[in-house]
Structure 1
Amino acid sequence: MTEAAAIARSGGPVTQARLMVDFRRLGVEPGMTVLVHTAMSRIGWVCGGPRSVIEALLQVVGPEGTIVMPAQSSELSDPSGWCEPPVPESWWDTIRASMPAFNPHLTPTRGVGTVAEVFRTWPGTRRSLHPQVSFTAHGPRAVEILSSQPLEDPFGAVSPLAVLNGIGAHVLMIGTGWETCTTLHLAERLSNPQGPTFEDGTAIRVDDERRWVRFRMPQTDVDRFPAVGAKLDGHAILKHGHVGSAPSRLFPVAQAVSMAVEAWSLPAFMA
């Protein structure tokens, strides 16, 4: 959505003060740990842009709260698997040989929105070390959440998502659909830990040298997220509201993961 379109659909500027009111009405409280997904264009015209969204979130959770966001960098993957868009096969070897190694401070996010990208560079924000599907966090629990994310199982039982699941964290979805709900990847891994994998590759630094490494990643399937999301939408654990003009949700990680694991363990969902 263009800025002109955002202005046209807005009844007025969405200010930082308005955002704070909307977050509190939705149920965000001081001291919470919140994994945030944001579709900035759905909020409307925000005075101050992504900065106002981040500052409002930090103000509402306060100094004892922690904000977490996805920081995916899918371009640091094997070019043979690229499809949006694909590149010619004749380019693959050159890309593998010259792709810059993942750097938690310099590698930008991709496909997770402007708020997540601005948050990545926010003073005091930390980032996990997975080259493709890292997370960022700001607050007193950031180190705990980001401390471990295995290369070959970044969403599993030892991951930032697993920590969020164990510490009573919440998910805040601002104008995003269920296909963006990263938390459900943990449910995928818990419901089928021996599920299918695929071969991938990336550039990282090993012993202070850039190397192209090959590894296997779990196969994910976001197409089945909306069906579980529909069940969650009708459950008492989930709170609905608006942030600006964006339909938004707030819900606890642990209960959502538990419900998804139970659903995906049933034959109808496994088919």
Structure 2
Amino acid sequence: MGERAAVDAVDDPVTADSIAADLRDLGVEAGDTLLVHSALSELGWVVGGPQAVVDALQRVLTEQGTLVMPTHSTQYSDPSVWTSPPVPDDWIPQIRESMPPFRPAVTPTRGMGAVPECFRNYPETRRSRHPLYSFAAWGADAEAVVEGHEFENGLGEHSPLARVTEQDGSVLLLGVGHDSNTSLHLAEYRADIDPDETTAGAPVLRDGERTWVEWTDIVHDSSDFTEVGAAFEREVGATTGTVGAAEATLLDQSSLVEFAVGWLEANR
């Protein structure tokens, strides 16, 4: 949605105050642990852009709650497996040798949207150490959510996704669908579906030195996530509404993951 379309999508400018009111109407409460996936462009014309969205989320959750967002940086991957776009074979050694190391404080996100990119820079926000699949968190349990994020199986049991489950967290889809719902990746690890494995790699800092590290992970597949999410909403239920001009869905994360495990085992 371009800016003209964003203006035309709403009767009044979308503000931090109106976003906060819409979030409360949807069911978001102070003290919640909330994993947010978002598309700023779907909200309509927002005064202050992504900053207003982050401000509203923090205001509603308060410091007693915990705000979590994916801050993935998949540009920090092995260039030999890049497909969007692929690079010439003779570029690969130079890219691997010259790519700056992943640094949680400065490395930008890729493909996450404007809101997570803004959020990762907020004061007191903590970001996990995974060079591809990091998450950022703010609030009462931020450190507990992001600490100990292991490279191997980076969206699995030793990831912030699992920590959000332990905090009885919720998922908010803000202008996006279940194809963007990272919690369904956690179900891929827990389901008995025997996924393929791959070797991943990225440059990181260790003892102040740039080091290329490699680890194993499953091959993720989000092609059926829209089906999984639709089945969950139909059979278990979720709260839906609007935030600004965006469709919004609020759902319990642990219930979603448990349902998705059974769905994947039956259908994949």
Q: How does 1:44-123 map to 2 (within 5 A)?
A: 44-123=44-123
Q: Please tell me the root mean square deviation across aligned C-alpha atoms, in Å.
A: 1.3
CA distance in 2, matches of 1:135, 1:252: 19
Runs of 4+ in 1 over 6 A off after TM superposition: none
Instruction: Please say if 1:173 is aligned against 2:176.
Output: no
**Is the contact between residue 237 and residue 255 of structure 1 (CA under 8 Å) also seen in structure 2?**
no
Three-state SS of the structure 1 residue aligned to 2:71 is strand
What TM-score do the two structures reach when normalised by structure 1? 0.96
> In the alignment, residue 24 of structure 2 is paired with which amino acid?
R
What TM-score do the two structures reach when normalised by structure 2? 0.97
Segments of structure 1 that go 5 or more residues without pairing to the other structure are none
CA distance in 1, matches of 2:187, 2:123: 32
Three-state SS of the structure 2 residue aligned to 1:64 is coil
**Is the contact between residue 34 and residue 171 of structure 2 (CA under 8 Å) also seen in structure 1?**
yes
> In the alignment, residue 159 of structure 1 is paired with which amino acid?
S
> In the alignment, residue 57 of structure 1 is paired with which amino acid?
L
**Is the contact between residue 31 and residue 63 of structure 1 (CA under 8 Å) also seen in structure 2?**
yes
**Is the contact between residue 135 and residue 146 of structure 1 (CA under 8 Å) also seen in structure 2?**
yes
Q: How does 1:179-218 map to 2 (within 5 A)?
A: 179-192=179-192, 195-218=195-218
CA distance in 1, matches of 2:236, 2:13: 32
Report the Cα offset of residue 217 of structure 1: 2.1
Partner of 1:10: 10
CA deviations over 1:31-76 (Å, ceiling 9, x no partner): 0000001110000000111111111111111120110000000000
CA distance in 2, matches of 1:69, 1:102: 18
Report the Cα offset of residue 227 of structure 1: 1.0
Three-state SS of the structure 2 residue aligned to 1:234 is helix
**Is the contact between residue 193 and residue 265 of structure 2 (CA under 8 Å) also seen in structure 1?**
no
Three-state SS of the structure 1 residue aligned to 2:91 is helix
Segments of structure 2 that go 5 or more residues without pairing to the other structure are none
Three-state SS of the structure 1 residue aligned to 2:117 is helix
Three-state SS of the structure 2 residue aligned to 1:265 is helix
Q: How does 1:123-134 map to 2 (within 5 A)?
A: 123-134=123-134
Report the Cα offset of residue 193 of structure 1: 7.7
